[in-house]
Amino acid sequence: MFRTLWQYRHFIISSIRGDLKGRFVRSRLGGLWFILHPLAQALIFSIVLSEVLKARLPDTDAPAAYPIYLLSGMAAWSLFSEILMRSMTVFIEQAPVMKKIAFPRLCLPIIVGGTALINHLLLLVALFVIFIFLGHIPGRALVLLPVGIVLIAAIGFGLGVILGVVNVFIRDVAQVMTIVLQLWYWLTPIVYPVNVLPEKYGFLIGLNPIAPLVALYQDALLFNRWPDPGSLIMPAMLGLASMAFAIVFFRRASPELIDVL
Amino acid sequence: MTVLSVSNLSKCYASYASNLERFAGWFGAPVKPTEEFWPVKDVSFSLSAGEALGLIGQNGAGKSTLLKLITGTVRPTGGTAHASGRISAILELGLGFNPEFTGRQNAFHAGGLMGLSQARLSELMPYIEDFAEIGEFFDQPLRTYSSGMQARLAFALATAERPEVLIVDEVLSVGDSYFQHKSFDRIRSFKADGTSIILVTHSMGDVRSLCDRVILLDKGHVLKDGPPDEVVDYYNALIATKENDKLTVEQRREKDQWLYSRSGTKAVAVESVALTDSDSGAQIKTAVSGQSVTVRTRIVAKEDIPELVIGFMLRDRAGHTVWGTNTWHTGQVLSNITAGDKVECRLRLACALGQGSYGLSVALHTGDVHIDNNYDWIENIEVFDVINSDRPVFVGTSRLEHAFEIIR
């Protein structure tokens, strides 16, 4: 399987290039949009929450700490949601090609994942520039960021492919997931710091595999502290398990996938 | 040498009581589908190197599914399709193209999707550029292309490398006629080099001109497998009689391999057809190019019918239509025929044909085509030769009036 995928590496790479190109080409601000969106969102949240709700962040004296906190969490979340949502719909979008050309179908979610990762790296670079602009330079904990990227991508890819296969048979899945993701976003400490949460809801954070990864981003980019290794066990296990199950599930489903597309 | 062998190939689309049952089935649970649909069932054939097979049949006959099974995008429920080399399938032109890429980038991109290596594509690129004939557009983004230019690029890419088996699904009707010719020539040269071809088309002309053999599919089964004229005529007869329960199709080979086939309800039937010299009235088997001939047809009605149209068609040896018309177009429709009525039709023709052998077909029906109410339709009821005795030698089936004027 991996050998055939390797043979198709050029197709995968040029598809990723095409995806990125398609996203930025022919809009006046081109590549700037992908940073303008999260910036605008961060600005809105900053205004609404830090001024109106007087949200305060503990453990930091960084200037503009709240926008940086927001942007870090949102970056982590956007990587997760983009891989998840696009893997979920990629089979339906690419149905004509899948039906009429014989090629390893696993290329498709890999292209989605690759595009999202490159996008994400560009976003991180842009965020860095903004952070420096805001007078904040992330510290040594930054070296752990790749761990967060890998785990988020693994969970997003695994869940995305599993749900993507199910979505081919039951199209409501993608619709339901947009709502689930909204809820999930608000159940993850991205917009608010974890300490504002009432004690009795603490268990929700404990169950949320994305929460420790978002925290890792915030730690790495803002607080400059090392994450609790124990908190990463659950996301790592989930990432591994979902990836493995996704590949098996996809291979079993593959023949019938084409039949109902 | 057998290049492609297809044996008992079948495909079943199953519906299950619920999707959960379907998922359980992938992991070995014994699940029974509630409904089964077999678009292709027990299809077997083999193709040798350089053989071209036409696949015909009405919509829903299973042609496209069969192609997908052979190509490998759809997995068969039963049976196997085994090819001894690379299969290249053109099921749709321009699949996988990205509108933002240039023609060249798209050739690399979609070529990769087809499984060609980048190194090989680099070698093929000059050929692709040359064959597509889209000039400087080759390095422009695809979104600026006309649909014809896209088709050219896609076809050039799809046929850049000669495969062992080439599968073409109704894509040759795109583009202008110059490019269609060019595409056909390309396919013919592949064939000459030993590529086996499977062609799906609704154009019986393409089938006759390219294929060595034709398979007629109906409801997923092979209904008929044989030489093009035999299968195509059978198919035409089948369409004409589809609406009719009194379906009869009769076929046999005549002298020199001309295929006689007859179908229809016989509510009115042809008794005899004779080719005669218009002046003497004598029956002839050979006509001189330019001679005035009369086709005398005797018809007898066995039932009362409201309307009768008589049509004639001439075909050359290769099965191409040379000429044809009927009494509907000439405004001579007969009405209110009663059982027992006899009709004689005399068709006077200037035999403006070139040298060769021609088959005359006759059809009795209503309306402008023989699809509704096919009473009696006989392909190649009369076969005759045409010789050229008074004209300088010319080739082709048409005796065009001509004169050279040479100035020096």
Contact assessment for residue A92 and residue A257, using Cβ atoms and an 8 Å cutoff: no
Strands (E), B290-340: 292-301, 305-315, 321-326, 334-337
What digits encode the pLDDT tens for the residues B277-328?
A: 988 888 888 888 888 999 999 999 988 888 899 999 998 887 788 999 999 8
| Residues of chain A positioned with their CB less than 8 A from the CB of B68 | 99-100
- Domain-embedded: residue A55: no
Say whether B237 sits in a helix, a strand or coil.
helix
Whether A41 is covered by a domain: the verdict is no
Q: Tell me which residues of chain A have a C-beta less than 8 Å from any C-beta of chain B.
A: 7-8, 10-11, 14-15, 18, 21-22, 25, 96-103, 166, 169-170, 249, 252-256, 258-259
d(CA B204, CA B227): 13
Q: Give the integer Cα–Cα distance in Å for B155 and B149.
A: 10
Would the CA dihedral through B272, B276, B280, B286 be positive or negative?
Answer: negative
Q: Is A76 within the bounds of a domain?
A: yes
**Domain-located, residue A4:** no
Tell me the C-alpha distance between A125 and A160, whole Å: 26
Judge whether A16 lies within some domain.
no
In the prediction, which pLDDT does B266 show? 84
pTM of the model: 0.73
Using an 8 Å CB-CB cutoff, list chain B residues near A97: 95-96, 113
A31 domain residue, yes or no: no
| Predicted complex ipTM | 0.79
Domain count, chain A: 1
Give Cα separations from B301 to A122, A173, B265 (angstroms): 83, 65, 11
B15 touches chain A (CB under 8 A): no
Which pLDDT tens digit goes with each residue over B162-208? 889 999 887 666 667 788 888 888 888 999 998 999 998 877 777 88
A27 falls within a domain:
no
Name chain B contacts of A22, Cβ cutoff 8 Å: 98-100
Task: Please give the share of chain A, as a percent, with pLDDT higher than 70.
Answer: 92
Q: Where do the domains of chain B lie, and which CATH numbers do they carry?
A: 2-224 (3.40.50.300), 249-387 (2.70.50.60)
Domain that holds residue A82: 65-260
User: Among partner residues A8, A22, A249, which is closest to B100 by beta-carbon distance?
Assistant: A22
DSSP chain A: -HHHHHHTHHHHHHHHHHHHHHHHTTSTTGGGHHHHHHHHHHHHHIIIIIIIS----SS---TTHHHHHHHHHHHHHHHHHHHHHHHHHHHHHTHHHHHHS-S-TTHHHHHHHHHHHHHHHHHHHHHHHHHHHTT----GGGGGHHHHHHHHHHHHHHHHHHHHHHHHH-THHHHHHHHHHHHHHHTSTTSS-GGGS-GGGHHHHHH-SSHHHHHHHHIIIII-----GGGGHHHHHHHHHHHHHHHHHHHHHHHHHHHH-
Rounded-to-integer distance, Cα B117 and Cα B28, Å? 37
Tell me the nearest-neighbour CA distance from B112 into chain A, angstroms: 5
Strands B196-200 and B52-56: parallel
Minimal-distance CA residue of chain A relative to B67: A100
The verdict on residue A39 lying in a domain is no
Residues of chain B with pLDDT under 70: 171-175, 240-248, 370-371
User: Which of the four pLDDT bands, split at 50, 70 and 90, describes residue A194?
Assistant: confident
| B27 at A interface, C-beta within 8 A | yes
CA-based nearest residue to B85, from B156, B161, B155, B157: B161
